Amino acid sequence: MTAARHLTNRQLARENYFATMEIPQLRGRGFTAQDDQRAPNVAIVNQTFARNFFPNDNVLGQRVTFRGGKREVEIIGVVADTKYMSQRQELEPLLYTPWRQEGEEIGEMYFALRTTGEPTGLAATVRQVVHELDNNLPVTELTTQVARAQATLGQERLYARLLSFFGGVALLLAAIGLSGVLAYSVAQRTNEIGIRMALGAQTANVLRLVVWQGMRLVLVGLTVGALVGYGLKRLLASQYFAKDAWQRQMAQQLYGVTGTDPLTLAVIAGVLTIVALAACWVPARRAAKVDPLVALRYE
């Protein structure tokens, strides 16, 4: 019987890596200094790995063979899931192996240092310690986890701020335009409003008349906008961004929010409705204050 083949990420880790990064150990044990090239080959996996590849079995003690059958490792522990490449990426299977058993695989190493103060203040000290250990060992990059996270999402956050700004400007202009159209309509219908009020129409009736006139435009716009947006989403997802599965997934959803998320659509529609009501209220109040005698003489 041939074992199933799967693709998974692999990361080399030191004994105190999980403690330093505060990744909880869920089952089994962690790496120790005894897990070297003389000891049996071992590995630790994340929750997604255990759930995807051994859903009905106890993953501890299971053996995994690397591509080509050159090496086999025994799973000795399970740790919590973490993002491997970026914050946007979905949780994927991840297998950790101890660095002492990876002599031929190590080309460069990254060290994580947990501090109690400002991390950048220790940069000079870190360089000095490394130089004292081996003056031929170069330190090519010193950064913080916060800086790396900001660099990963920096462009997206800039786009989000720009889109939010221009969206707010567009919403303000739309509200001003709607209010202006209704104000002009009220001015054109001053005589009609005066007749209605002279025949007994109450202030609430006039308010409802003007507000409904504006809200009909808003409802039509929301409906047309929703249909066009849904059509464009499907078009972009199926054509422009459809080079591979990862890009299709990125095109179809924002970070943690799908393109057709009901809550998001409801919030957007609610905000637009509230802004439209506020824009309609000013000309509606002006219409309700019309003096019937003045309005009947209006030409």
What tens digit of pLDDT does each residue of 60-91 get?
Answer: 988 888 766 578 899 999 999 988 776 677 78
**How many structural domains compose the chain?**
2
- Please give the Cα distance from 80 to 46 (Å, whole number): 6
pLDDT at 291 over 70: no
Packing angle of the helix pair 145-188, 203-235 (nearest 10 deg):
140
Lowest mean pLDDT among 1-5, 27-31, 164-168: 1-5
Please report which confidence band the pLDDT of residue 290 belongs to, taking 50, 70 and 90 as the band edges: low
Contact 152, 255 (CB under 8 A): no
Domain range enclosing 46: 9-110
Same domain, 163 and 279: yes
- Please give the Cα distance from 67 to 3 (Å, whole number): 12
Same domain, 160 and 217: yes
Residue 143 forms part of a structural domain: no
How confident is the model over 253-268, as a mean pLDDT? 68
Residue 75 forms part of a structural domain: yes
Residue 126 forms part of a structural domain: no
Residue 132 forms part of a structural domain: no
Same domain, 290 and 159: yes
Q: Compute the mean pLDDT over every residue in the chain, rounded to the nearest whole number.
A: 78
Same domain, 195 and 265: yes
pLDDT at 248 over 50: no
Same domain, 88 and 168: no
Same domain, 106 and 189: no
pLDDT value of position 44: 93
Q: How far is CA 134 from the centre of its chain?
A: 42
3-class DSSP state of 9: strand
Residue 286 forms part of a structural domain: yes
Please report which confidence band the pLDDT of residue 11 belongs to, taking 50, 70 and 90 as the band edges: confident
pLDDT at 28 over 70: yes
Contact 242, 248 (CB under 8 A): yes
Same domain, 184 and 64: no
Please report which confidence band the pLDDT of residue 42 belongs to, taking 50, 70 and 90 as the band edges: very high
pLDDT value of position 252: 46
Residue 66 forms part of a structural domain: yes
Same domain, 43 and 106: yes
pLDDT at 287 over 80: no
pLDDT value of position 253: 47
Q: How far is CA 215 from the centre of its chain?
A: 33
Residue 118 forms part of a structural domain: no
- 187, 175, 189, 194: which is closest to 272 by C-alpha? 175
pLDDT value of position 29: 92
Same domain, 280 and 199: yes
How confident is the model over 116-132, as a mean pLDDT? 81
pLDDT value of position 2: 45
Same domain, 217 and 290: yes
Domain boundary among 110, 142, 173: 110
Domain boundary among 110, 142, 162: 110
Question: Is the pTM for the entire model greater than 0.85?
Answer: no
How confident is the model over 256-274, as a mean pLDDT? 75
- Please give the Cα distance from 111 to 101 (Å, whole number): 17
Same domain, 98 and 167: no
**DSSP letter string, 286-297:** HHHT--HHHHHT
- Please give the Cα distance from 154 to 148 (Å, whole number): 9
Task: Report the range out of 97-111, 149-163, 168-182, 202-216 with the highest average pLDDT.
Answer: 168-182
pLDDT value of position 184: 78
How confident is the model over 121-130, as a mean pLDDT? 82
Same domain, 195 and 77: no
Domain boundary among 110, 128, 146: 110
List Cα–Cα distances, 177 to 35, 61, 102, 221, in angstroms.
Answer: 71, 69, 67, 14
Residue 210 forms part of a structural domain: yes
Lowest mean pLDDT among 178-187, 256-265, 289-298: 289-298
